[in-house]
């Protein structure tokens, strides 16, 4: 499975998903791409999942057009220490059949 970490996530989070092929937007030189363009690039490069902190993404894109799963990490902030608490939830969802569109992952406190 191939995962992309959006540029609004700490690169260090990549190390928490070693069992997957994980890239950052920076790794792919896709920095600054608009959401629609980024999703199209993901399809062309055969990504399965986008991990993002962009709460507006689900309102800005028509996910009927993009066969991509997006996990929206909803937490107080986007620091590594905060988002690391959501890693287990993400991994549990990655074990299930993927659904197109946005799945919000609210941080368990």
State pLDDT tens for residues 84-106: 999 999 999 999 999 988 899 98
pLDDT band per the 50, 70, 90 thresholds, residue 61: low
The whole-number average pLDDT for the span 13-36 is 94
Q: Quick one: tokens of 47?
A: 């990504």
Tally DSSP H helices, then E strands, for the chain: 4, 5
CA atoms within 13 A on the CB side of 9: 31
Please name the residue that has the structure tokens 């991994």: 91
């Amino acid at each position: 499975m191939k995962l992309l970490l959006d540029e609004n996530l700490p690169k260090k989070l990549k190390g928490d998903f070693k069992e997957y092929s994980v890239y950052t937007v920076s790794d792919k030189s896709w920095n600054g791409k608009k959401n629609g363009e980024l999703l199209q690039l993901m399809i062309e490069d055969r990504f399965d999942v986008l991990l993002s902190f962009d709460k507006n993404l689900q309102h800005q894109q028509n996910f009927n057009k993009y066969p991509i799963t997006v996990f929206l990490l909803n937490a107080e902030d986007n620091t590594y220490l905060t988002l690391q608490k959501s890693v287990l939830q993400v991994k549990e969802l990655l074990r299930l059949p993927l659904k197109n569109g946005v799945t919000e992952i609210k941080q368990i406190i």
